[in-house]
Structure 1
C-alpha cells in the first residue's frame, strides 16, 4: 500500500506544485505591472497634473496682482513664491521616479521651457516691484503668457504619454492575468483527471479488504465473535485481517474463561479463579479484575457468615465490618439480626430475673418485634401470666386450708 499511496499523492503534489508555480509566476508579473501602473505611471500623472495646476495658479495670481496694481503686493508676491515652492517639490519628487529615454528628453524640454518662462517671470516681477504695471501687463500678455503656455503644453505632453503608458501596462496586466488563468485552469483540470484516476485505482485496492475489516469490527462491537475473516494476502489489509482474527480469538478466550468461572462458582467451587497470566495485556487485566470482583463478593459473604456463626451460638461480641456503597445493606442486615437477637435476649433475661424474684407481673414488649420474634415474647408473656394466675390460686387454696376450710378447690 505504501508505494501505491506514495505514487498517488506524489502525483497530486507534483500537480499542485505546478499550479503554485504558475500562480506565483503570474502573480509576480501582474504585481510588477500593477506596481508600474500605480507606483510609477499614476504617480507621475498626479505630480504632472499638480504642476500644471500650480502653474495656472501662478498665472492667475500674477493677473490678480496686476489688477490690484500694487495693493497687498508683498502678501500676493509671497503667496506666488510659495506656489513655486510647491511646484519644485512636485518636480523633485517626479525626478526620483524611473523614466525611459523618451521620457528623459521630454523632461529636458520641460526644463528648457521653464527656464525661458522664468526669464519673463523675473522681468514681470521686476516691473511690478518698481510700480510700472503697464510694462508688467505688456510682459504678461505678449511674453510670459505664450512661454507659460508652452511650458504647460510640455508638461501636458508628458502627462499624456504617461497616460498612454498606463494604458499599455493595463493591457499587459490583463494579458498576463488571462494567460495565468488559462494555465491554472489547464493544470487544475489535469489534476482533477489524474487525481480521480489515482483515487479510483487506490480505492479499489483498499475498499474490499477494509470493508471486510469494518464488518468484522462491527460484528465484534455488536458481540458477534464467530465472524469469518479472510487472512489471505501479504499487504497491509491482510495483516490487519490477521490482527483482527487474533483479537476475536482473545475475546473468545476471555469470555470462555469468565463462563468457566461462573460455572465453577455455580457448582459450589468458590475458590476457583481465572488464570490471568494466560492472557496478554489488557485481557489479563480484565481477567484479574473478574477474579478481584468475585473474591470481593466471596470475602464479603464469608465475613457475614463468620459473624452469623458467632451469633448462632449466642456470641454477640463481634460486629459486621462496615461495608461501602450498596454493600452497606449487608452490614445493616447483619446488624439488624444482632440487634433483634440481643433485644430478645434482654427481654428473656429481664423476665427471668423478675420471675426469680417472685415478680410474675412483668411482661415483654411484643410491639418491638415482628413475626416469630414477636411470637416468642408473646409465649413468655403468657407463661408469666399463667404462672402468676396459678400461684394466685395456689396461694388462695393454701390460705383456706390454713383457716381449716377444706372445701376450697383449684382448677387447671
Structure 2
C-alpha cells in the first residue's frame, strides 16, 4: 500500500482537494447548464409569453370598455352625453391600437402571425360598426340604432373579442409548454446530480477515510504524547519516522519534551526558592502585601493581617467599609479616598516610592516597589507597611519636650511607663538627659545668683561628664578667678586707704608746724625743708594712689571680658555680678 507518510499533509490534502474539486466542478457545470436552460425558459415566459398575455388581456379589456361606452351612450337621451361617450370610445380605441401594434411586433411564430392577421380585420370591422352606430345616435333614429346595435355591432364586437382571446389562449399554451420543458430539465438535472453524488460517496468517502487515517493516526500519537507531557510524564518514547508534518511534529514534541524536562528542573529550583521566600515572608515581622498590575491584593503575610486586624476599628472611622478579613482579593483603592490618584501613582511607579498616610487617627508608612521580570514587564507591586502611630506620638512628644527645653522649660515629662521596647528606652534616655541637664543648669544658675550677690564661697560639687563636666569645671574656675580678682582689688584698695591716711597725717603735721613758725623763726629754715619734703611725699602718694585706681579699673574691665568669654559660649546672657562696682568703689 502506498505510504502517504512520505508525502506532506499539504500534498495529500491537495490531491484530495483536486478530486473533490473535480466533482464540484462537475456538479457546478451541470447545475449552471441546467440553470441556464431553466433561466432561458423563465426569461421566455416572463419577457415573451407574460408580456404578450398582458397586452392581449389589455386589448380585451379595451374591447369590453368600448362596448360599455356604447351601451352607456344608448342609455343617455342627451346628445351631448352620447357624444361624450364617443370620445371615451376613441380614447380606448387609441390605447388598444398601441397595444395591438406592440403585440404585432412581438409575434414571431407562424401561428401567432396567423392569429394576428385574423385579428386586424375583425378589429377594423368592429371599429366601422362603432362609428356607424354613433352616426345613427347623432341622427336620432332610435329604430335604426337598435337594429344596428343588435344585428351588426354586437356580432362584430364578439368576433373581435374572440380573436383577442385566441392570442391569450396561444400564450397560455406557450407558458404550459415552457413549464413542461422546465420540469423535464429539472428531472434530468436531478438524475445526473444523484448519480454524481453516488459516485462521490463511492470514491471520496473511502479515499477521505484513508487519507484521514494517514493524518490522524500520527496526530493521535502526538496528542497522546502531548497529554503525557501535560500530565508530567517527560520520559515518553516518540517515533519521529517519516517526512510529513506529523513526523516533524513528533520531532518537535521530542525536542519540547527534552526542553521541558530541563526547564522543569530549573523551574523546580526556582519554585523552591520562591517557596522559601514566601515562607520567609509569611513568618517575618515586617508587614508585606503584594498586588497585581491592576492593584488587586494577591498576597498578605501574617504580620500585615494582624496589623490591619488591630487597626481595623480605627481605620473604619475614615473607611466604613474596611474589613481586615476581606483584604485579599480587594483593591488598593480601599485605603484611599482619591482612587484615581492612587491608580495613576501605582501605574507610573518606576522605582521605590515611600510615603506616609493617616487613616482613622493611625499613621502608616508605605514603601512601594514595582515587581518587574527580566523583560522589564510589570508583574505587580510589593508594599511594606509600618504602623508608625506610636512612633509618631513619641516623636511629637519628644519634639514638644525639646522645644520646651529650648525655651528653658524642663518641667515636661515623658510617660515612659506607658511605652515598651525601643520607645521606652528612648523615653528613659530623654528623661535622664533632661534631668541631668536640668540639674546642671540649675546648679549653674544658683551659682550665678550667688555671684550676682557677691557670694564667692560656693562651688558646684556634683560630678558631671563630658560638656557638662567641662561647664562645671569652668564655672568653679570662674569663681576661683573672681576670688583672686576681688582679693587683688581689695589689697589695692587697702594700699590706697593707707596712702590716704599718710597724706592726711602729713597735712596735720604741716598745719602744726606752720603754727609753730610764729613762735620760732629759728626753726623756719628747717620747717621749710620738712614742708618741702612732705609736699614731695604727698605728691608721690597721690600719684601712687592714682596708679592703683587705674590698675583696679583695668582689673575690673579684664574681669568683665573674662566673664563674657566664659559664659557666652553656653548661650547664657548673664551680666557680671552687680556688686563689682561696689567692691571697686
Please report how far the alpha carbon of residue 255 of structure 1 lies from its aligned counterpart in structure 2 after TM superposition: 3.1
Query: For residues 373 and 144 of structure 1, do their structure 2 counterparts lie closer, same or farther at Cα, with a shift above 3 Å needed?
Result: closer
- Please list the CA deviations of residues 204-261 of structure 1 after superposition, one character each: whole Å capped at 9, or x if unmatched: 1012210111122223333332222111222221111111111221222233345567
Please report how far the alpha carbon of residue 8 of structure 1 lies from its aligned counterpart in structure 2 after TM superposition: 0.9
- Confirm whether residue 367 of structure 1 aligns to residue 418 of structure 2: yes
Mapping 1:173-188, distance limit 5 Å: 173-188=182-197
Asked whether the 8 Å contact 2:119–2:164 carries over to 1, the reply is: yes
Counterpart position of 2:108: 99
Q: 13, 20, 26: which is aligned to 2:28? A: 20
CA distance in structure 1 between the aligned counterparts of 2:166 and 2:369, rounded to whole angstroms: 105
Counterpart position of 2:383: 328
CA distance in structure 1 between the aligned counterparts of 2:386 and 2:150, rounded to whole angstroms: 126
Greater Rg over alpha carbons, structure? 2
TM-score (norm 2): 0.47
CA distance in structure 2 between the aligned counterparts of 1:69 and 1:167, rounded to whole angstroms: 49
Mapping 1:53-92, distance limit 5 Å: 53-71=61-79, 72-92=81-101
Please report how far the alpha carbon of residue 16 of structure 1 lies from its aligned counterpart in structure 2 after TM superposition: 1.3
Counterpart position of 1:242: 251
TM-score (norm 1): 0.65
Asked whether the 8 Å contact 1:230–1:241 carries over to 2, the reply is: yes
CA distance in structure 2 between the aligned counterparts of 1:140 and 1:237, rounded to whole angstroms: 97
Asked whether the 8 Å contact 1:364–1:378 carries over to 2, the reply is: no
Q: Provide the secondary structure at the position in 2 that maps to 1:328.
A: strand
Considering Cα pairs closer than 8 Å and 6+ residues apart, tell me whether 1 or 2 has the greater RCO: 1
Please report how far the alpha carbon of residue 326 of structure 1 lies from its aligned counterpart in structure 2 after TM superposition: 6.2
Q: Provide the secondary structure at the position in 2 that maps to 1:230.
A: coil
Mapping 1:139-218, distance limit 5 Å: 139-218=148-227
CA distance in structure 1 between the aligned counterparts of 2:16 and 2:199, rounded to whole angstroms: 14
Higher strand residue share:
2
Counterpart position of 2:140: 131
Please report how far the alpha carbon of residue 102 of structure 1 lies from its aligned counterpart in structure 2 after TM superposition: 1.5
CA distance in structure 1 between the aligned counterparts of 2:65 and 2:234, rounded to whole angstroms: 98
Query: For residues 23 and 255 of structure 1, do their structure 2 counterparts lie closer, same or farther at Cα, with a shift above 3 Å needed?
Result: same
Please report how far the alpha carbon of residue 376 of structure 1 lies from its aligned counterpart in structure 2 after TM superposition: 9.9
Query: For residues 264 and 75 of structure 1, do their structure 2 counterparts lie closer, same or farther at Cα, with a shift above 3 Å needed?
Result: closer
Asked whether the 8 Å contact 2:368–2:381 carries over to 1, the reply is: no
Query: For residues 258 and 57 of structure 1, do their structure 2 counterparts lie closer, same or farther at Cα, with a shift above 3 Å needed?
Result: closer
- Confirm whether residue 226 of structure 1 aligns to residue 277 of structure 2: no
Asked whether the 8 Å contact 1:121–1:144 carries over to 2, the reply is: yes
Q: How many residues of Structure 1 are paired with residues of Structure 2 in the alignment?
A: 319
CA distance in structure 2 between the aligned counterparts of 1:252 and 1:184, rounded to whole angstroms: 57
CA distance in structure 1 between the aligned counterparts of 2:60 and 2:17, rounded to whole angstroms: 62
Q: Which runs of 5+ in 1 are unaligned?
A: 267-302, 304-318, 354-358, 383-412
Query: For residues 258 and 159 of structure 1, do their structure 2 counterparts lie closer, same or farther at Cα, with a shift above 3 Å needed?
Result: closer
CA distance in structure 2 between the aligned counterparts of 1:85 and 1:5, rounded to whole angstroms: 70
CA distance in structure 1 between the aligned counterparts of 2:272 and 2:61, rounded to whole angstroms: 108
Please report how far the alpha carbon of residue 107 of structure 1 lies from its aligned counterpart in structure 2 after TM superposition: 0.7
Please report how far the alpha carbon of residue 11 of structure 1 lies from its aligned counterpart in structure 2 after TM superposition: 0.8
Q: Which runs of 5+ in 2 are unaligned?
A: 1-8, 276-351, 353-364, 371-379, 433-585
Report the aligned-residue RMSD: 4.1
Query: For residues 376 and 190 of structure 1, do their structure 2 counterparts lie closer, same or farther at Cα, with a shift above 3 Å needed?
Result: same
- Please list the CA deviations of residues 14-60 of structure 1 after superposition, one character each: whole Å capped at 9, or x if unmatched: 11121111112112222222232333223322322332232233223
Q: Which moved more, 1:177-186 or 1:4-13?
A: 177-186
